[in-house]
C-alpha cells in the first residue's frame, strides 16, 4: 500500500510539473505572438505610410509639376518688372509700406533685388512713352495668361473661350492684383504700427506674418479659381490653397536656413542676388503648383463619387425590392 501511495504521489507530481511546463510554454508563446504581432503592426503602418506618400507623389509626377512650375517662373520673371512699372504708374502715390513688408525675415534674401526693381520702375514711370506703356502692359499680363493655360494642362480640360478673352481676363486679374496689393500694404502698415505701439516687437512681427500668410491664402485661392477651366466653388479650392500656404511658410523658413549655412555667394559671386531670386521664385512656384494639382485630384475624385452615386442608389433600391 505504501509503495502504491508513493507511486501515486510521484505520478501526481509529474502531472503537475507537466501542466506547469505547458502553462509556461503557453505564456511564452502568447508573449512571442504578441511581440510578433506588434512588429507586424508597426511594419504594416510603415508600409501604409509609404504607400500613401508614393500615391501622393505619383499624383504630382503624373502632372509634371516641376516642369509647369519652371515654365510659370519664366513668365513670372518676364512679368515682374512690367508689373512693377504699371503698379507704380497707377498707384505710385498709394504705395506705402513696401519696405516694412520686405523687412520681414522671410524676404531678407530677396529684399535688395525687389527694392532695385521698385526703384527702376519708379524711374521708368517718370518719363514713360506710349510704346513702352503698351508693350509693358502686354508683358505684365503674360504670367496670368499662361497661368490660365497651365490650368488647362493640369485639369486636362480646354476652355471654350480663348484668345482675346483669355488675354482680357489676364489683364483684369493683373489690375485686381495691383489693387489688392496696395490695400494690403496699407492695412499691413497700419496694423504693425498699432501693434508696435501697444505690444512688444515680436508680437507685432507675429501679427505681420499672420496677415501676410492670410493674404497668401487668399491669393492662392483666387488663382486656383482663375486657372481652373471649369466653374470651381471656393470651398473646393480651400484644400489646395491651404496646402500651398503651408508649403510657402515651410519653404520660406527652410530656404532662409539653407542660405544662412550654404554661403552661396562663394559660388556665384556678383550674380548671387539674381540666382537667389530665381531659386526663391522657383520654390514658391513649386509650392503653388502642388496645391493646384491636389485641388484637381480632389475635384476629380469628387466627380467620380458623384457619377457613381446613381448606380449605388439603384443597387440599394434593387436590394430592397428583392427583400
- pLDDT tens digits for 30-87? 555 555 555 556 677 788 888 888 888 888 888 889 999 999 999 998 888 888 888 8
DSSP at 272: H
pLDDT band at 245 (very low <50, low <70, confident <90, very high): very high
6 or 147, greater pLDDT: 147
DSSP at 103: T
Mean pLDDT throughout 7-12? 49
Residue 59, judged by CB atoms within 10 A of its CB (0-12, 13-18, 19+), counts as middle
DSSP at 230: S
132 or 174, greater pLDDT: 174
Widest CA span in the chain: 130
Grid cell locating 25: 510554454
Residues 275 and 267: their CA atoms lie apart, in Å, by: 10
pLDDT band at 136 (very low <50, low <70, confident <90, very high): confident
As a whole-number percent, the residues of the chain with pLDDT over 90 amount to: 10
Mean pLDDT throughout 113-123? 78
Grid cell locating 214: 492670410
Query: What is the reported pTM?
Result: 0.76
Cα atoms in the Cβ-side hemisphere of radius 13 Å centred on 114: 16
As a whole-number percent, the residues of the chain with pLDDT over 70 amount to: 78
Residue 182 confidence (pLDDT) above 60: yes
pLDDT for position 289: 94
Helix 2-62 to helix 272-322 angle (10° resolution) is 120
- pLDDT tens digits for 190-239? 887 787 788 787 787 788 788 888 888 988 998 998 888 888 888 888 99
Residues 297 and 56: their CA atoms lie apart, in Å, by: 10
pLDDT for position 8: 47
| Alpha helices, DSSP H, located in the chain | 2-62, 65-91, 98-102, 111-126, 130-140, 142-155, 164-198, 201-227, 238-262, 265-268, 272-322
What are the φ/ψ torsions at residue 165 (nearest 5 degrees)?
-70, -40
70 or 316, greater pLDDT: 70
Grid cell locating 79: 512679368
Residues 262 and 260: their CA atoms lie apart, in Å, by: 6
Q: State the residue for C-alpha cell 446613381.
A: 310
Residue 5 confidence (pLDDT) above 50: no
pLDDT for position 292: 93
Q: Please enumerate in sequence order all residues whose Cβ is within 8 A of that of 183, keeping only pairs 6 or more positions apart, or say none.
A: none
> Average pLDDT of the chain?
78
Distances (CA, A) of 151 to 40, 66, 143, 148: 43, 14, 12, 5
Grid cell locating 181: 496689393
pLDDT for position 6: 45
- pLDDT tens digits for 256-293? 888 888 878 788 887 888 888 889 899 999 999 999 99
Amino acid at each position: 500500500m505504501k509503495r502504491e501511495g508513493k507511486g501515486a504521489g510521484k505520478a501526481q507530481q509529474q502531472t503537475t510539473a507537466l501542466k506547469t511546463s505547458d502553462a509556461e510554454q503557453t505564456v511564452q508563446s502568447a508573449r512571442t505572438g504578441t511581440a510578433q504581432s506588434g512588429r507586424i503592426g508597426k511594419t504594416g503602418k510603415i508600409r501604409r505610410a509609404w504607400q500613401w506618400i508614393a500615391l501622393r507623389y505619383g499624383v504630382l509626377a503624373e502632372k509634371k509639376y516641376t516642369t509647369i512650375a519652371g515654365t510659370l517662373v519664366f513668365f513670372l520673371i518676364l512679368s515682374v518688372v512690367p508689373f512693377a512699372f504699371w503698379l507704380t504708374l497707377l498707384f505710385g502715390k498709394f504705395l506705402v509700406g513696401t519696405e516694412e513688408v520686405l523687412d520681414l525675415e522671410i524676404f531678407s534674401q530677396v529684399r535688395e533685388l525687389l527694392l532695385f526693381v521698385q526703384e527702376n520702375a519708379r524711374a521708368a514711370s517718370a518719363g514713360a512713352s506710349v510704346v513702352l506703356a503698351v508693350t509693358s502692359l502686354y508683358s505684365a499680363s503674360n504670367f496670368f495668361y499662361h497661368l490660365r493655360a497651365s490650368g488647362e494642362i493640369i485639369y486636362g480640360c480646354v476652355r471654350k473661350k480663348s484668345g482675346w478673352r483669355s488675354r482680357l481676363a489676364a489683364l483684369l486679374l493683373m489690375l485686381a492684383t495691383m489693387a489688392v496689393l496696395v490695400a494690403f500694404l496699407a492695412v499691413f502698415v497700419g496694423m504693425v504700427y498699432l501693434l508696435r505701439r501697444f505690444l512688444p516687437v515680436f508680437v507685432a512681427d507675429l501679427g505681420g506674418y499672420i496677415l501676410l500668410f492670410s493674404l497668401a491664402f487668399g491669393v492662392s485661392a483666387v488663382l486656383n479659381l482663375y486657372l481652373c477651366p471649369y466653374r470651381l466653388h471656393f470651398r473646393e479650392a480651400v484644400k489646395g490653397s491651404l496646402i500651398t500656404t503651408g508649403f510657402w511658410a515651410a519653404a520660406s523658413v527652410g530656404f532662409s536656413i539653407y542660405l544662412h549655412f550654404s554661403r552661396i555667394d562663394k559660388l556665384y559671386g556678383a550674380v548671387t542676388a539674381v540666382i537667389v531670386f530665381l531659386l526663391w521664385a522657383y520654390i514658391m512656384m513649386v509650392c503653388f503648383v502642388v496645391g493646384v494639382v491636389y485641388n484637381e485630384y480632389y475635384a476629380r475624385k469628387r466627380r467620380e463619387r458623384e457619377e457613381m452615386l446613381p448606380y449605388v442608389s439603384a443597387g440599394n433600391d434593387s436590394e430592397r425590392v428583392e427583400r
